[in-house]
Amino acid sequence: MTVSHASFNITKTCRGSQARTAELVTPHGAVPTPVFLPVGSQGSVKTLTPNEVRDTGMNMLLANTYHLYLRPGIPAVERAGGLHKFMAWDGPILTDSGGYQVFSLAGLRRVNDEGVVFRSHIDGSEHTFTPELSVQYQESLGADIIMVFDECSAAGSSYDRLEQALKRTHRWAERCLKSQRRCDQALYGIVQGGVFPELRKRSVEFLTSLDFPGYAIGGLSVGEPKQSTYDVAGETAALLPEDKPRYLMGVGSPEDLVECVSRGIDIFDSALPTRVARNGALYTPSGRINIFNAQFSELQQPIDATCSCYTCRTFSAAYLHHLFKAKELLAYRLATIHNLTFISKLMRQMRETILDGTFLSFREDFLVNYQPTDEITRLDQKQKWFQSRNNNS
């Protein structure tokens, strides 16, 4: 199927790395890449209005098919005129297939070659997702970019388990492609294979033979060490077509964005910047700070003097410390504005330095100055988050 009003035009590549900048054209506007997509799972970036999201510099969002299917229901969004009108967002939207969320429901789902039968994490009611239904739901939502329904595997899965999931993912990708009816949406394939290069290579070879307009790299940032994420993302990106977008799913920490842009990734999404903001973790050029710490209780300066966001222009760190300690709702809004502005600025800086030929020095300076979360602490936090999701399910 020929997709209208969709193109990907590379404007500059970086000598000495795989970094590149391009223009991704969609029915709801052109997006410069590399680009980060804030997550609006239920049709909303938590705590912010669409205008506030725009003001942070973000111009493309991700929404979640699984969550919208459960609430308010796909027909309700369709009756409202589609997701863009329903959530009052006039920019591009990417919807995931619902696959990751369904497969994260550990004890609440059954998988077979036809699809997945699962129980809602909300009320326990039983539902079925198939590749055909996932595409149908995403077409009804009306996003600019939609994703195939794939089988996601947990971190640490065996080679045999990943190979089995890979074969099913490939069969489902063919079915998704055959079931697509709308010509104004770009359907992206998803490369799986865990941390095994041979499986990733096989997945790329099969999916590129189907000639999708774009390709995602799935199954990373699920608990594996960061270096494994970087290695697999870079090796996989190098195998994908140069003239099509490369989307690394679920990656959003500042250091990961810089490392993976240098490895040729064009599109990112993650709930991390907004989630940690609501927990008082705020980005600065030197790393994440915890606004709950007593050292900020008397600091009559902004969180980041180099930041031009509404939060930093208007309020002191001491005020934010007070809001979080008092559990005032404004705290979560102001912190989210700051973190999204920080990520937006970072993406813009990478685009600009790729264009002017200084990306490698920018990358080096950033990674020297930015102190990431300790790896052991990060993995522990990741496991606790996964556990909390399963418990809530």
In the set 150, 256, 266, 269, the catalytic residue is 269
Residue 220 DSSP label? -
CB count in 10 Å sphere of residue 19? 26
- The verdict on whether 96 is a catalytic residue reads yes
Is 295 exposed, middle or buried, given 0-12, 13-18 or 19+ CB atoms closer than 10 A?
Answer: exposed
User: For strand 61-64 and strand 93-96, is the pairing parallel, antiparallel, or unpaired?
Assistant: parallel
Strand boundaries in 53-129, DSSP class E? 61-64, 93-96, 109-111, 116-119, 126-129
Nearest to 208 by CA among 241, 246, 245, 169: 241
Residue type for position 166 = L
- The verdict on whether 243 is a catalytic residue reads no
In the set 96, 150, 256, 266, the catalytic residue is 96
Nearest to 330 by CA among 318, 342, 339, 319: 319
| Length of the chain measured in residues | 393
d(CA 137, CA 391): 27
Q: Where would I find the H helices in 210-328? A: 226-239, 254-261, 272-278, 310-314, 317-325
d(CA 322, CA 381): 25
Q: Order of strands across the sheet with 126-129?
A: 109-111, 116-119, 126-129
Helix (H) or strand (E) holding 179: helix 159-179
Residue type for position 248 = L
As annotated, the active-site residues are 96, 269
